[in-house]
Structure 1
């Protein structure tokens, strides 16, 4: 339910919180959000990470 990683908007290490999860044909899609800003990203079964370029 929590994930430690660098937030590119805040510019420091933050604890991201799981906002939603959905099972789909590619795997489980999980949305993560920073509690201090509007930044969020999506992971699908650890293979697809929309925040990887900024992590």
Structure 2
């Protein structure tokens, strides 16, 4: 089995990754939204966001 991040051979402790670094890189991709599970919904996602949340002048 090879690491899905770099392609090196996996290490039992970090399986399916080869190292803690590759495991952390994969986690970071999930946390920042690089990976996403496709929705089965046909509606537009933006339609679910209230209009006050989409205003560009809204303070954070």
TM-score range, shorter chain: under 0.3
Higher helix share: 2
Higher strand share: 1
The higher-RCO structure (CA 8 Å, 6+ apart) is: 1
Larger Rg: 2
TM-score by length of 2: 0.24
